[in-house]
Amino acid sequence: MPPRPIPLSLLFHERHPNPGPVAFGLGGTRSFEALAADAAALAAAVQKLGAGRWLLDTESAYAAAVGLFALAQSGSVAVLPTNRQPETLRRLRSELVGALIDPARDATALGGLPRLDPLAQPPAPPPAWRLDRDAPFAEFETSGTTGEGRWVRKALRHLEDEALALEAVFGARLPGGTRVFATVSHQHIYGLLFRVLWPLGAGRPFHANLLLHIQELVPRMLECDHAVLVTAPVHLRRMVATEGLAELASVCRAVFSSGGPLEAETAAGVAKRLGDAPIEILGSTETGGVAVRQRSHRGDLFTPLPGVRVELEPPDGGLVVTSPFVSVGLSTNTGERRFRMGDRAQLEADGSFRLLGRSDRTVKIGEKRLSLPEMEKDLAQHPAVAEVALLVRPQASEQRVHAAVVLTETGRGILIREGRRAIGRSLAGFLSARWDAVLLPRVWRYVDALPRNPQGKLPLASLAALFEPRDREATLHQETRGEGWLERRLEVPRDLVYLDGHYDGQPIVAAVVELRWVMEAAFDLLGWAPRVSQFEVLKFPEVLLPGQTFALRVERSEAGDRLHFRLYQGERVFASGRCRLAVARGETR
């Protein structure tokens, strides 16, 4: 039997009935007594520096829990940014009293702001204390999915009531001792609730660290009798493509997914490997959790969480939510708030509903209305397209559609063999069967991954940045030629557009970009656009980094039917290979 759930405001009011661990992971196992003592010690340090808005930015979910309850005990509020970019910290520092931050974090952008390590304060005896449900508890930065991001403040009651509602709906399916694992950050409301606050109130220990790779996630989950996974569509998509997910069928009692739409194909893939589909959570920073669905049970229908009321607002059927978890919007006579989301829906007689797409992404191009989600859905049917995101930007004084595309293996092959223009023509031609010519994308960007944030969402600002004027080619320093060969001395621009999404923390030049540069050099060597029938040898022994200088050499074989190439710097080789050339137009061998 799961332990009796405790409201978050009463966690430290009396002796905790759960004697087991609160958190576990790379930092060891932590008990509730340790959490209470660490929070009390940190609260005393915060009070010395002053109450107010404090930045909370930690790798460890346990350290985040310590920080949250220390700030609440000291009459302060936690500010949780969606990222720790220098500009984000610089923008915040004038509004903060201090920062609770890991000592290893680069916090130079915070200037002289006082900083405390949440887990390094002198021991203090934990008093019994009761938290004010109505006091501000945390501020979350929205992702800016539909525009500029903003800060949304949550009182403790918004999060406490939602954690109790989640336990009421899902608690019975999670046996006692179930351990919580996550691939999503606690800096976002979904991650904080599902991997920290709900487990704390329900007496389920949580892994303090993010486990983003299935190779490290699976072995740790298999050590448990019962486990639950808190994740996002972008991570589930990758997991389904691997062999390891099926190993979790014996221990994984539930998979939760939120942060964006989960494709039916991915949901079916999880169900096939684990025996049941993921539990999808619909919500937002402003509303908290709204509804849940599990495709293996009720198809595409969402069921509102306890206490949540939904209605549709004319003329477009926009989804309006009223619940104890909503913290912004219009006040009601019940003391709750009412907020219109950006989704359109269709209500069923039993109160469930299905989503019909976003209401805030219908635009006007050349006096014609365009639903960007509809065009994205159409474009995703092309065999060269794995994922796509559209937005509207000015071009030559007119508003035009721009497309960011993640290519499939088929698409990458077309890009390598035929180039950007050829694949752009193919995609535009595919859309022209349904869409008016004025609505077709005018600018295409091909990326290894869409620029999603740690919560799996796609901020508008990050998407728009893909289309800012930036370097798109390697910088040419020198070129030499001989009979049947060409060599260039090049440099990778630090703001090369193709570095986006490949990878966070340490961008590298993707293999497909290196091959593109090879084909461009081959064009100049041969005098015609090479068509590759087969790559016979292809190696990428070392990664190519921003700012790197290198040599690119292409050489045609004596028979003229093959192309040899190499990207190198001294003894280091970044890429090498040999490909068979198809017969070019107007040429015979």
Residue 54 lies in a domain: yes
pTM of the model: 0.70
DSSP tag of 557: -
The CATH number that applies at residue 461 is 3.30.300.30
- 461 and 487 housed in the same domain: no
Q: Which of 102, 131, 160 is the last residue of a domain?
A: 131
Q: Please choose, from the candidates 38, 27, 31, the residue with its C-alpha nearest in 3D space to the C-alpha of residue 15.
A: 31
- 91 and 121 housed in the same domain: yes
- 514 and 428 housed in the same domain: no
Q: Which of 465, 485, 517 is the last residue of a domain?
A: 465
Residues 308/158, Cβ–Cβ less than 8 Å: no
Residues 6+ away with beta carbon under 8 Å from 329: 286, 337, 338, 339, 340
Distances (CA, A) of 16 to 5, 12, 259: 11, 7, 32
- 454 and 503 housed in the same domain: no
Q: Return the pLDDT at 487.
A: 93
Q: Return the pLDDT at 15.
A: 65
- 569 and 483 housed in the same domain: yes
The domain total for the chain is 3
- 76 and 23 housed in the same domain: yes
pLDDT tens across 538-585, in order? Answer: 999 999 998 899 999 999 998 888 999 999 999 999 999 999 987 544
Residue 176 lies in a domain: no
Residues 6+ away with beta carbon under 8 Å from 94: none
241-271 residues labelled b (16+ CB within 10 A) or e (exposed): eeebbebbeebbbbbbbbbbebeeebbebbb
The CATH number that applies at residue 493 is 3.10.129.10
Residue 410 lies in a domain: yes
> Which residues, in sequence order, are bridge partners of residue 292?
281, 303
- 481 and 448 housed in the same domain: no
Residues 136/159, Cβ–Cβ less than 8 Å: no
- 436 and 485 housed in the same domain: no
Q: Return the pLDDT at 472.
A: 60
The CATH number that applies at residue 22 is 3.40.50.980
> Which residues, in sequence order, are bridge partners of residue 413?
none
> Which residues, in sequence order, are bridge partners of residue 539?
576
Q: Return the pLDDT at 501.
A: 52
- Residue numbers of the chain with a pLDDT score lower than 70: 1-3, 15-18, 143-149, 367, 396-397, 454-455, 469-472, 497-498, 500-505, 583-589
pLDDT tens across 77-115, in order? Answer: 999 987 777 777 888 999 999 999 999 888 888 999 999
Pairing of strands 77-80, 53-57: parallel
Q: Which of 465, 498, 515 is the last residue of a domain?
A: 465
Tell me which residue range forms the domain holding 121: 13-131
- 452 and 527 housed in the same domain: no
Residue 480 lies in a domain: yes
- Dihedral sign for Cα 173, 178, 180, 181, please: negative
Q: Return the pLDDT at 584.
A: 46
How far is the C-alpha of 516 from the C-alpha of 352, rounded, in Å? 49
- Secondary-structure percent of the chain, ordered helix, strand, coil, rounded to 5: 30, 30, 40
- 454 and 502 housed in the same domain: no
- 454 and 486 housed in the same domain: no
- 52 and 118 housed in the same domain: yes
Structure tokens at 48: 């010395």
Pairing of strands 303-304, 532-539: unpaired
DSSP tag of 196: I
Residue 376 lies in a domain: yes
Residue 486 lies in a domain: yes
How far is the C-alpha of 465 from the C-alpha of 449, rounded, in Å? 14
Q: Please choose, from the candidates 338, 345, 351, 257, the residue with its C-alpha nearest in 3D space to the C-alpha of residue 304.
A: 351
Residue 73 lies in a domain: yes
- For residues 541, 547, 549, 554, the Cα torsion angle rounded to the nearest 10 degrees is 60
Residue 539 lies in a domain: yes
